Structure 1
Amino acid sequence: MPKNKVLAVLYATLIGALFPACECGIVPIARRLVAKGVPLYAAIPFMLTGPIINPVVLFSTFIAFGSSLKMVLYRSGFALAVAILIGWVLAVQYKDDQLRKKEVISSSMSKTLKEKWMGTLEHSIDEFFSSGKYLIIGAFVASAMQTFVKTSTLMQLGQGKVSSSLIMMALAFVLSLCSEADAFIASSFQSTFSFSALTAFLVYGPMIDIKNTLMLLQSFKTRFVVLLIAYITVFVFVGSLLI
C-alpha cells in the first residue's frame, strides 16, 4: 500500500478488480481491512469499486448490453471516478477508522497450520452470524419495497434527465440487486430511460443499497455511514448529469 494518500486511493480502487465479490459480501472484507490497519480512505474505495470493476460483473454487463463495450467502459470508469473522489474526501476528513466496535486482530505468524485453519473456520462462522442477519433483514426489506412500490409509478416519474437519474438511483437502492445480475435488469429499461440514468443505476446500486446499508451500520459509526451515503448519492447524481 503506497504511503502517499493520493496514490493509496488510486491503488485501492483498482485492486478491487481482483476480488469478484458482490456488494453484500465486500462490506465485511472492508471492515476487516480497516481493523487490520488499512486506512479508511483506502478500504472504502476498494469496497465501492470491487463489486463493479471485477471481471465477472464487467463480462455480465458486456453480455447484457448486446456485447457492447460502451456501457462496460462507462460503468467502470464512472465507478472509479466516484470511488477516487470519495477516497480523497475521506483522506482529508477522517483520521480514525470510524469502526463501530474496536476489533483485536491476532497475529497468525506463530500459529501452526491446523490453528490457522481452525481460526479461518471460526472467523467464517463469526462473519456468517454477524453479517448474515443483516443481509437477511435487508433482503426482506428490499422484497417488501419491491412488492409495495410499483415500478410503473417510478418510471412515470422519471421522464426528464434529472428525474430519470434520481428514479433509477432510487430503484437501484430499493431493488438491492447483486452486481453480477443488475445489468440484465438495467438493459430491460433501455427503451424507457436514458443511457446516463442506466449508468447511474449500475453504479449506485452496487455502491449502496438496502442490504449493504444495514451491514455498513453494523460495522461503522452511524454518522460516517450517513455521510458516505450522501457522498455516493451526490457524486453519482452529478456525474450522471455530465454523461
Structure 2
Amino acid sequence: MLIRTISNRALFMLIWIAAFFTVIVLNWDAVGRPAAESAHVQSFKVMFISILLEALPFVLLGVFISSLLHIFVSERTISRFIPKHPLPGIVFACLLGIVFPICECGMIPVVRRLLRKGMPLYMATVFVLAGPIINPIVYASTFMAFRSQPEMAYSRMGLAFVVAAFIGLFIHKFVRKSDLAIRGAQANGLDRGAISHAHASCGNHGHEHKHDRSLSSVLRHASDEFFEMGKYLILGALITAAIQTFMARESILAIGQGEWSSQFFMMGFAYLLSICSTSDAFVASSFASMFTGGSILTFLVFGAMLDFKGTLMLLSVFKKKYVLLIAALLIVSVPLGSVLFQYVLLQ
C-alpha cells in the first residue's frame, strides 16, 4: 500500500513538473517569435491554467465527500434498502449516486462489496454506469462549467439516467445468471488478484475504513484519491489546450460540426483521457463553441461511464465478454440518446 501511494504521488509530481516546464519553455520560446506564434502560446497557457483552476475545487470537494462516505457509511446500510422488483431496483440504482457521490475511481470497490452482499447484477451494473454522473457534485461542476447553457447539466443527468436504465433492463432480461458475467472467484468470494489490480488502477480503496474511522483516515484516503485523479486532470487539460491551440480550427470545426463524426471523436477522446467525472465538464466546455451540443453531451456521459482506466477496473470484477457487452451497448445508446437530446433540449 505504501509503495503504491508513493508511486501515485511520484507520478503525480512528475506530471506536474512536466506541465510546469512545458509552460516555462513555451513562454521562453515565445520571446522573439512572430506575434501570431506568441499569441498561440499565450492561448495555450491561458486554456491550460483556466481548466485546472476551474476544476480543482470540485475535485477536492469530490474526494473529500467520497472519503467521508467511504470511511463512515457501510454498504450494508444501503443493501437493506435494495428493492426486490426490477423497475424500482433500477431507479434506486440510478439514484444511489446521490447517497454515494463518488467518481468512477472509487465505484468498483463499492460495487464489488455490494455484489457480495447480494445486490443483483443488473442493479450493480446500473450503479456503476449512473453513479459517477447522477450525484450532486458532478451536477454542480457541470452546471458551473456550462453557466451559459444550464440545460447541459440537466441533459447530462437525464441521458445518464435513460442510458443506465436501458442497459439495466437489457441485463435483467438477457443476462440472468451472474456466473455468466462475474468472475468465478468474485462470485464465490473475494478475488485477491482482481482487487490488487483494481487498487493499482484507482488507488487505495480497501477495507481500512472498517478498522480506522478517524479524521486522519479520511484525510489519508482523500489524499490518495486526489493524487490518483489529479494526474488525469492535468493530462486532460494539457491535451485539450494543445488540441484547441495548435490544431487548425478548420479541422476541428469539420469534425465538430459533423453530426456523427463529432460523436465518435468525442467518445474516443473521452475514453482515452479518462478524466474524473467531477472535472470533465470543464474540459468539455472548452469545446462548446466548436462541437455540437450532442457531441459534448456524449463526451460527458460516455467518458464517465466507460474510459480506459474504468475498463481495467471493470475487468477486475466482470468477465471480458460482459464488459464488451456493456461497451457495445454504450457505444450505440449514448450517441443515439445524445442526438435525440440535442434536437429536443440543446437547440
TM-score, length basis structure 1: 0.81
CA distance in 2, matches of 1:51, 1:10: 15
Match of 2:262 among 164, 177, 183: 164
Q: Which segments of 5 or more consecutive residues in structure 1 lack a partner in the other structure?
A: 107-124
Q: Kindly indicate whether the alpha-carbon contact (under 8 Å) linking 1:51 and 1:179 is maintained by their aligned counterparts in 2.
A: yes
Q: Kindly indicate whether the alpha-carbon contact (under 8 Å) linking 2:302 and 2:334 is maintained by their aligned counterparts in 1.
A: yes
Cα deviation 1:152-192 (Å, max 9, x = unaligned):
48835343111111111111101100001000001000111
Cα deviation 1:187-231 (Å, max 9, x = unaligned):
000111011111111000010000010111121100000001111
* Higher radius of gyration, 1 or 2: 2
CA distance in 1, matches of 2:129, 2:298: 14
Cα deviation 1:67-122 (Å, max 9, x = unaligned):
6531110000000000000000000111222221334569xxxxxxxxxxxxxxxx
In structure 2, the partner of 1:118 is: none
Q: Kindly indicate whether the alpha-carbon contact (under 8 Å) linking 2:195 and 2:316 is maintained by their aligned counterparts in 1.
A: no
In structure 2, the partner of 1:92 is: 173
Q: Which moved more, 1:194-203 or 1:60-69?
A: 60-69
Match of 1:79 among 160, 166, 171: 160
Secondary structure of the equivalent of 2:277? coil
Percent of aligned pairs sharing the same letter: 40
In structure 1, the partner of 2:127 is: 46
Q: Which moved more, 1:152-161 or 1:38-47?
A: 152-161
CA distance in 2, matches of 1:52, 1:165: 19
Match of 2:324 among 213, 226, 231: 226
Counting matched residue pairs gives: 222
TM-fit CA distance, 1:242 = 1.2
TM-score, length basis structure 2: 0.58
- Tell me whether 1:131 sits opposite 2:204 in the alignment: no
Q: Kindly indicate whether the alpha-carbon contact (under 8 Å) linking 2:198 and 2:312 is maintained by their aligned counterparts in 1.
A: no
TM-fit CA distance, 1:62 = 0.9
Q: Kindly indicate whether the alpha-carbon contact (under 8 Å) linking 1:28 and 1:127 is maintained by their aligned counterparts in 2.
A: no
- Tell me whether 1:173 sits opposite 2:256 in the alignment: no
Q: Kindly indicate whether the alpha-carbon contact (under 8 Å) linking 1:35 and 1:102 is maintained by their aligned counterparts in 2.
A: no
Secondary structure of the equivalent of 1:20? coil
Q: Kindly indicate whether the alpha-carbon contact (under 8 Å) linking 1:17 and 1:55 is maintained by their aligned counterparts in 2.
A: yes
Q: Kindly indicate whether the alpha-carbon contact (under 8 Å) linking 2:104 and 2:304 is maintained by their aligned counterparts in 1.
A: yes
CA RMSD of aligned residues (A): 3.0
